[in-house]
Amino acid sequence: MRPFRTRWPAALAVMLTAASFAACGGDSDDVVPTSAASPKVLSVQGGLDRPVSLSVADLKALPPTTQTVSYGSGAGPQTHTYTGTNLWNLLDQAGIQVDAARKNDVLGKYVLATGADGYQAVFSLAELKPDFGNRPSLVVYEEAASGVSSALGTDGPVRVTAPGDVKGGRYVSALTRLDVRDAGSTATGTGGGVTTSFTVSGAVKSPGTYDLAALQALPAVTRTVGANVYRGVSLWDFLNTTTGLVLDPAVKNDVLGKYVVATGSDGYRALIALGEIEPGFGNAPNLIAYEVDGAPLTTSGFARLVVPGDTKAGRFVSNLVGIEVLAARPAP
C-alpha cells in the first residue's frame, strides 16, 4: 500500500490508517479514529488502498473549499454556495489502486456516486483529475444563505457537486456511497499499428463496425485544440443518434449511470462518463476525429478520440479499435 500523504489532517490520517489495518487483516483496535462517536454518513469504497467510512465531522476536518454553482432543475434555475471537500483529493488520499503495467491506468476508472434512495451518477476519474479534466467536484456538507452557513437539509447530510453541468442530475443528494471501479471493458488491443476500422459494442441499439467512409458519411464537426483543428463526428451524436443508446426509462437519468470506453490498437484505453458529454449535463465537445489541420491522421490511425477540454491528451486515444458503452456496476 502507498504511504499516506502527510499534508492531510492527522484526524483523517488516523482514520484511514485504521481502515487500512482492518482491510489487511490487522488489529484495527490499535488505532481509534478521533471521530469514532460521530455517525458515519458516507462510505468511500471500491478500488482503494484505504476504504473508509466518514462522518460529517470527519469531512469538516479536511481542507474546505467553498463553491458557487448554478444549474437547471425541475423546480427552475438553481444557484447554491456550498462548502465541502474536493472529491478528487478525497479519493486520491484514500489510495486509488492502479495497474503500474498499464499506461495511465487511472484514466480507465470511474467513481459511482449513490444516494440514499439508490439514485446513481458516474464521474470518470479523468474528469476529476487536476491534470486532465480538472473538474472541481466537491463532497459538500454546508450551504450558505444570506451569509450564514448551515447543514444541507433535505439534500444532505452530504451531496456531490458537478460544477459546469447544465442540469443538476449529477448533484447526488443524500450521498451515501462513493465506489471507485475499473472500466470492466471487454475490448482488447490488436497488437498495435495503424487501424482502418473500429467496432462499437455494449449498451447500444446498433452495434457494428465503422471505417473512414462510414464516419465521413455522418454530420461533421470541427474542434480547435491548441494549435490544431480536428474534424470528425461528435462523440455524443455518434452514440446517441447513430448507434443509439440503450437506456431504461424506468431508471431516472439512466444515462448518468453509464460510460464509454475507447480502446486503441495497442490496448491503451480511456473512459468518459456519458454525463460528461450529454448536452443536458456536462456537454463536453468530445469527438471521434478523422482529420487534423485538413489532413488524414496517418500514424494516429484513421480515427482518434479527441477530448478538447482536458489539460493533457491522455484521453486522446489513437488508432481506435473499440468503443464500448457500459453501465456502472452497482455497489454490492
**pTM to 2 decimals?**
0.89
CATH domain 10-182 topology: Sulfite Oxidase; Chain A, domain 2 (3.90.420)
- Residues 139, 154 contacting (CB under 8 angstroms): no
Q: Calculate the dihedral angle through the C-alpha atoms of 208, 268, 112, 329, rounding to the nearest 10 degrees.
A: 50
- Residues 196, 300 contacting (CB under 8 angstroms): no
The CA distance from 271 to 259, in Å, is 7
The CA distance from 260 to 276, in Å, is 10
Q: What is the mean pLDDT of residues 60-70?
A: 97
Percent of the chain with pLDDT over 70: 88
CATH domain 197-327 topology: Sulfite Oxidase; Chain A, domain 2 (3.90.420)
Lowest-confidence pick of 22-31, 255-264, 313-322: 22-31
Give the list of residues 6+ apart from residue 272 with CB closer than 8 angstroms, or none: 124, 126, 127, 235, 259, 260, 262, 284, 286, 307, 315
Q: What is the pLDDT of residue 121?
A: 98
Q: What is the mean pLDDT of residues 282-300?
A: 96
**Could you report the per-residue pLDDT of 6-32, keeping only the tens digit for each?**
344 544 554 554 443 333 333 333 323
- The three-state secondary structure class of 196 is coil
- Examine domains 10-182 and 197-327 and report if their fold is the same: yes
5: pLDDT strictly greater than 60: no
> How far, CA to CA in Å, does 20 sit from each of 41, 56, 285?
19, 20, 40
Q: What is the mean pLDDT of residues 203-224?
A: 98
Q: Across the strands, what pairs with 131?
A: none
Lowest-confidence pick of 1-10, 114-123, 207-216, 314-323: 1-10
- Indicate the domain borders of the chain: 10-182, 197-327
